[in-house]
Amino acid sequence: MEEITAGVNNMNLAVDDQKKNRIQVSNTKKPLFFYVNLAKRYMQQYNEVELSALGMATATVVTIAEILKNNGFAVEKKIMTSTVEIKDDSRGRPVQKVKIEITLVKSEKFDELMAAANEEKEAAEAQVQS
């Protein structure tokens, strides 16, 4: 019976690990502003976004969060840091990596800032077409 309970608890954790509003950031796969714009879209949909990264990508997550905060789009809700053990295939032994998770929520001005940004984008597109 205990094994079944443990299995059910692990299933709940697996579902929680795949949150719809989580962005797992890499500092090599996509440009910085890809993640900034994706975070804005997630905040529009879910009112908050969780930025997550391991190792060297932690600096990228902090930069994304600061860009969103400094431009008035987001407010910091929670910052969590930890270390995780990952098996390094090249060395054949576990390696400790730093992990960061930053949760941001929409600021009070978010919707008006997004509307203004969309107006600017449409005006720029109209100029290009004419």
Distance of CA 12 to the CA centre of its chain: 21
Q: Can you give the pLDDT at residue 117?
A: 86
Rounded (5°) CA angle 22-27-28? 115
Q: Is residue 119 part of a domain?
A: yes
* Edge-to-edge strands, sheet with 22-24: 22-24, 48-54, 93-106, 74-88
Q: Is residue 60 part of a domain?
A: yes
State the Cα–Cα distance between residues 24 and 17, nearest whole angstrom.
11
* Residue 49's pLDDT band (cuts 50, 70, 90): very high
Lowest mean pLDDT among 2-6, 29-33, 36-40: 2-6
Q: Is residue 73 part of a domain?
A: yes
Q: Is residue 16 part of a domain?
A: no
Share of the chain above pLDDT 70, in %: 85
Structural domain containing residue 42 = 22-129
- Give how many domains the chain has, as a whole number: 1
Q: Among 90, 35, 87, which residue's Cα sits nearest to residue 59?
A: 35
Mean pLDDT, rounded, for 31-55: 95
Q: Can you give the pLDDT at residue 92?
A: 81
Q: Can you give the pLDDT at residue 10?
A: 45
Phi, psi of 71 (to 5 degrees): -90, 5
